């Protein structure tokens, strides 16, 4: 029982990161009907930018900002901002010119952009694993009903749930959020209502990469080891989560991410660790066979 | 009387040019392995294998319009079935060739049957999923069959009437014989009733269904045939390398095949030949220039290619026309 609870806590932590990254996929897909294969690289870039900022400003050893938490907050904001910029540039260069083209061309363009970013990072930082400095945050552990909860876990959960709640409120309550939902439904009708569709796409490419970057930073802080190839694996799983929840559906991505994290951790814990990465896809295939539009998905019209 | 002559000339002209071009390519194929060293013969072999893989995926993605980003799985089934049966029971690799093709095709039927109702991007992600599951399975060494991360070594070399294929240039003829055969078969298939039915499904599968095409069966057939050819490529790869390991069947490999098809022009066999050249031989030629930044340039080139020629290098005419009219419609809509 305690083991099960422990696995659940671990699963929710990983799952909340998947959910954050999945939001980027689902928002872009909702608006453009495009699988943004470069989104995994945004996650990876976030991690690398944060590492560079932490090492160069020596957060925690306290040269510039005395308070660790304040320092980390600044690291988050700066890295997310930088990654958003990259996201917008990728959209401008690799996706915008292909918006009216065949369906296959943007896929290849996205894969090319992803390969480019990955190798740019590899050439800058080298092929070896990069390690986050030790002892940034105190390793406090609480025991709740025999379950170990570390401070890092609490922070990861708090940040991801906070960001998700903020995004949900933004999309549901603000005028810009309403415009995003309208554009996802129908570009032309949205344009007739006076919505600047290009601006909406820009907004989505600002928010998505920023959320992905936040996920990447947290994975870096949590596991402390990062590699330039991690965008592929996390990206693929987050995309799986987005599809599980029903792609284009924002609450769906959150549910899908958490569910994937939990099922994957349980599978690794009770069945086999070696097959851990395969569980995600087995679950995905099962869900799509039984419910082809995902758990919360309504039918998303195909782009013609 | 003069105009009859002209018609004759017009219809004869391109035909003769084509015959000469094909004969030239044939001569080049025969001479190439005799004049180059082992390394470049090996490059030629891999090029041939990628053309085979490109053709097989082109059947699924280009002709039938089914997004498959997990084609490496079928390739892996071909290669591993050959490797396992050859190293355990010493079945000659050439005998295993049709068997590998059949096994890959059966595997494709089993996995694609439940997912064929999925459309576009959903199919894309599910095939990625299958590709990853197969790759992870190869690593996990189920029942001690696949040899885990080290793979399988000591795969026998093919022999034909007592002649054993040993040197890379021996293989070159073997592989390219299959390439030529496959290209010929693909061209015939394209112009057949079946090929037209696939194209119809690609353009609009609802309309195809309404025209009386059994879309479910034909989609399954596209997967089975494509996987079968990929199985042949896997068999040739295994006996050519004599060692295989899971990293040859990664997601990246599927991406490479997908890009070969799209870069060349989906549905176009000459496109596949050019696409495989661009995706495999060109990077090989430039290996010396940018050793470390090779993939960086490669990624940028993929984006640039799509920006300048989104329809591919040698597109099928219909595709080109469709893309143009769509672009024109969009432009008109923008103007209004």
Residue pLDDT, tens place only, B183-200? 999 988 888 899 989 988
Query: Do A115 and B311 lie within an 8 Å CB cutoff?
Result: no
Query: Do B296 and A33 lie within an 8 Å CB cutoff?
Result: no
Using CA atoms, how far apart are residues B48 and B56, in angstroms rounded to an integer?
12
User: Tokens standing for B276?
Assistant: 């495989």
Q: How confident is the model at residue A176 (pLDDT cuts 50, 70, 90)?
A: very high
Residue A286 has pLDDT above 70, yes or no: yes
In this structure, what are the phi and psi dihedrals at residue A303, rounded to the nearest 5 degrees? -75, 135
Length of chain B (residues): 336
B119, B126, B128 member nearest A236 (Cβ): B128
Query: Do B258 and A107 lie within an 8 Å CB cutoff?
Result: yes
Nearest residue on chain B to A273, alpha-carbon basis: B140
Using CA atoms, how far apart are residues A246 and A5, in angstroms rounded to an integer?
27
Query: Do B295 and A119 lie within an 8 Å CB cutoff?
Result: yes
Is B266 within 8 Å of chain A by CB?
yes
Q: Give the burial class of B167: count Cβ atoms within 10 A of its Cβ; 0-12 exposed, 13-18 middle, 19 or more buried.
A: exposed
Q: What is the mean pLDDT of chain A?
A: 86
Interface of B with A in 127-186 (CB under 8 A): 128-130, 132-133, 136-137, 139-140
Average pLDDT over residues A214-241: 89
Above pLDDT 70, what percent of chain A?
94
Residue A62 has pLDDT above 60, yes or no: no
Q: Is A131 helix (H, G, I), strand (E, B) or coil?
A: strand
Whether the CB-CB separation of A245 and A252 falls below 8 Å is answered with yes
Q: How confident is the model at residue B1 (pLDDT cuts 50, 70, 90)?
A: very low
Give Cβ neighbours of residue B170 (< 8 Å, ≥ 6 apart).
none
Query: Do B300 and A120 lie within an 8 Å CB cutoff?
Result: no
User: Tokens standing for A123?
Assistant: 């050439």
* Residue-range domains of chain A with CATH: 2-133+152-290 (1.10.3470)
- Chain A residues within an 8 Å CB radius of B326: 100
Distances in Å between the alpha carbon of B193 and those of A58, B197, B201, B226, B319? 68, 6, 12, 17, 18
Residue A126 has pLDDT above 70, yes or no: yes
Above pLDDT 90, what percent of chain B?
25
- d(CA A59, nearest CA chain B) in Å: 32
Whether the CB-CB separation of B255 and A81 falls below 8 Å is answered with no
Q: How confident is the model at residue B12 (pLDDT cuts 50, 70, 90)?
A: very low
Average pLDDT over residues A120-129: 89
Using CA atoms, how far apart are residues B155 and B96, in angstroms rounded to an integer?
12
pLDDT for residue A196: 92
Q: How confident is the model at residue B266 (pLDDT cuts 50, 70, 90)?
A: confident
A100, A120, A288 member nearest B115 (Cβ): A288
| Interface size, chain A vs chain B, as Cβ–Cβ contacts under 8 Å | 136
Using CA atoms, how far apart are residues B101 and B284, in angstroms rounded to an integer?
29
β-strand pairing of B163-164 with A130-131: unpaired
Using CA atoms, how far apart are residues B175 and B157, in angstroms rounded to an integer?
13
Average pLDDT over residues B277-295: 78
- d(CA A49, nearest CA chain B) in Å: 19
Query: Do B117 and A104 lie within an 8 Å CB cutoff?
Result: no
User: Tokens standing for B101?
Assistant: 């093709």
Average pLDDT over residues A220-224: 87
pLDDT for residue A49: 93
pLDDT for residue A287: 83
CA-based nearest residue to A179, from A22, A31, A23, A25? A31
Using CA atoms, how far apart are residues B122 and B115, in angstroms rounded to an integer?
9
Using CA atoms, how far apart are residues B232 and B53, in angstroms rounded to an integer?
9
Average pLDDT over residues B201-217: 88
User: Tokens standing for B12?
Assistant: 């004869």
pLDDT for residue B176: 92
Residue A234 has pLDDT above 70, yes or no: yes
Sign of CA dihedral A15, A17, A23, A24: negative
Query: Do B306 and A35 lie within an 8 Å CB cutoff?
Result: no
Give Cβ neighbours of residue A300 (< 8 Å, ≥ 6 apart).
A29, A30, A33, A247, A248, A293
Distances in Å between the alpha carbon of A136 and those of A48, A62, A67, A226, B186? 16, 10, 11, 16, 60
Q: At B306, which helix (H) or strand (E)?
A: helix B294-308
Nearest residue on chain B to A191, alpha-carbon basis: B334
pLDDT for residue B3: 43
Residue B61 has pLDDT above 70, yes or no: yes
Using CA atoms, how far apart are residues B333 and B336, in angstroms rounded to an integer?
5
Using CA atoms, how far apart are residues A129 and B185, in angstroms rounded to an integer?
48
Is B99 within 8 Å of chain A by CB?
no
Q: How confident is the model at residue A147 (pLDDT cuts 50, 70, 90)?
A: confident
Is B300 within 8 Å of chain A by CB?
yes
DSSP state of A196: -
pLDDT for residue A17: 93
The 10 Å Cβ neighbour count of residue B336 is 5
Angle at B238 between CA B272 and CA B278, to 5 degrees: 25
Query: Do B299 and A112 lie within an 8 Å CB cutoff?
Result: yes
Whether the CB-CB separation of A95 and B289 falls below 8 Å is answered with no
Average pLDDT over residues A126-155: 81
Average pLDDT over residues B248-253: 88
- d(CA B202, nearest CA chain A) in Å: 12
- d(CA A148, nearest CA chain B) in Å: 31
Which of A86, A98, A106, A108 would you mutate first to test chain B, the one with the most B CBs within 10 A?
A108
B128, B132, B311 member nearest A277 (Cβ): B132
Give Cβ neighbours of residue B59 (< 8 Å, ≥ 6 apart).
B186, B189, B198, B222, B225, B226, B229
Whether the CB-CB separation of B85 and B234 falls below 8 Å is answered with no
pLDDT for residue A18: 93
Residue A32 has pLDDT above 80, yes or no: yes
pLDDT for residue B329: 46
User: Tokens standing for A158?
Assistant: 């708090």
Residue B10 has pLDDT above 60, yes or no: no
Whether the CB-CB separation of A30 and A248 falls below 8 Å is answered with yes
């Amino acid at each position: 029982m305690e083991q099960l609870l422990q696995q659940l806590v671990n699963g929710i932590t990983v799952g909340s990161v998947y959910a954050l990254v999945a939001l980027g996929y689902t928002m872009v897909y909702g608006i453009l009907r495009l699988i943004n294969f470069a989104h995994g690289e945004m996650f990876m870039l976030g991690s690398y930018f944060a590492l560079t900022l932490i090492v160069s400003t020596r957060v925690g050893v306290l040269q510039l900002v005395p308070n660790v938490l304040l320092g980390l907050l600044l690291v988050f904001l700066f890295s997310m901002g930088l990654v958003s910029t990259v996201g917008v540039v990728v959209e401008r260069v690799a996706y915008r010119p292909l918006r009216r083209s065949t369906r296959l061309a943007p896929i290849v363009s996205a894969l090319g952009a992803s390969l480019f970013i990955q190798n740019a990072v590899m050439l800058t930082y080298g092929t070896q694993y990069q390690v986050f400095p030790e002892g940034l945050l105190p390793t406090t552990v609480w025991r709740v009903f025999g379950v170990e909860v570390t401070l890092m876990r609490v922070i990861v959960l708090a940040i991801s749930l906070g960001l998700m709640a903020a995004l949900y409120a933004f999309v549901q309550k603000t005028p810009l959020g309403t415009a995003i939902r309208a554009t996802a439904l129908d570009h032309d009708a949205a344009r007739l209502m006076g919505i600047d569709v290009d601006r909406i796409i820009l907004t989505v490419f600002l928010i998505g990469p920023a959320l992905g970057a936040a996920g990447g930073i947290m994975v870096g802080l949590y596991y402390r080891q990062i590699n330039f190839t991690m965008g592929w694996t996390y990206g693929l799983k987050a995309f799986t989560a987005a599809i599980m929840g029903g792609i284009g559906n924002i609450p769906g991505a959150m549910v899908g991410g958490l569910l994937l994290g939990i099922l994957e951790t349980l599978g690794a814990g009770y069945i086999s660790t070696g097959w851990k990465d395969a569980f995600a896809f087995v679950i995905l295939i099962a869900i799509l066979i039984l419910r082809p539009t995902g758990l919360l998905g309504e039918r998303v019209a195909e782009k013609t | 009387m003069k105009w009859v002559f002209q018609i004759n000339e017009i219809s004869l002209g391109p035909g003769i040019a084509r015959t000469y071009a094909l004969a030239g390519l044939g001569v080049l194929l025969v001479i190439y392995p005799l004049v180059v060293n082992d390394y470049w013969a090996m490059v030629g072999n891999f090029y041939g294998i990628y053309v085979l893989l490109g053709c097989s995926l082109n059947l699924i993605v280009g002709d039938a319009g089914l997004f498959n980003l997990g084609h490496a799985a079928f390739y892996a089934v071909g290669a591993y079935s050959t490797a396992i049966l050859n190293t355990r029971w010493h079945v000659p690799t050439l005998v295993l060739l049709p068997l590998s093709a059949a096994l890959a095709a059966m595997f494709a039927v089993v996995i694609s049957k439940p997912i064929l109702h999925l459309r576009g991007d959903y199919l894309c992600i599910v095939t990625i999923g299958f590709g990853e599951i197969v790759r992870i399975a190869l690593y996990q060494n189920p029942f001690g069959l696949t040899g885990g991360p080290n793979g399988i070594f000591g795969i026998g070399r093919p022999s034909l009437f007592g002649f054993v294929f040993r040197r890379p240039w021996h293989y070159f003829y073997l592989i390219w014989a299959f390439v030529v055969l496959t290209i010929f078969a693909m061209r015939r298939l394209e112009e057949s009733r079946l090929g037209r039915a696939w194209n119809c499904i690609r353009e609009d599968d609802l309309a195809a269904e309404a025209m009386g095409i059994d879309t479910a069966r034909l989609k399954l057939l596209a997967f089975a045939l494509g996987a079968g050819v990929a199985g042949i490529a896997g068999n040739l790869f295994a006996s050519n390398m004599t060692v295989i390991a899971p990293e040859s069947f990664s997601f990246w490999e599927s991406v490479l095949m997908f890009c070969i098809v799209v870069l060349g022009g989906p549905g176009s066999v000459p496109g596949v030949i050019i696409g495989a050249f661009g995706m495999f031989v060109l990077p090989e030629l430039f290996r010396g220039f940018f050793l470390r930044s090779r993939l960086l340039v490669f990624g940028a080139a993929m984006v640039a290619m799509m920006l300048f020629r989104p329809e591919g290098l040698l597109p099928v005419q219909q595709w080109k026309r469709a893309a143009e009219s769509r672009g024109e419609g969009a432009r008109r809509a923008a103007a209004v």
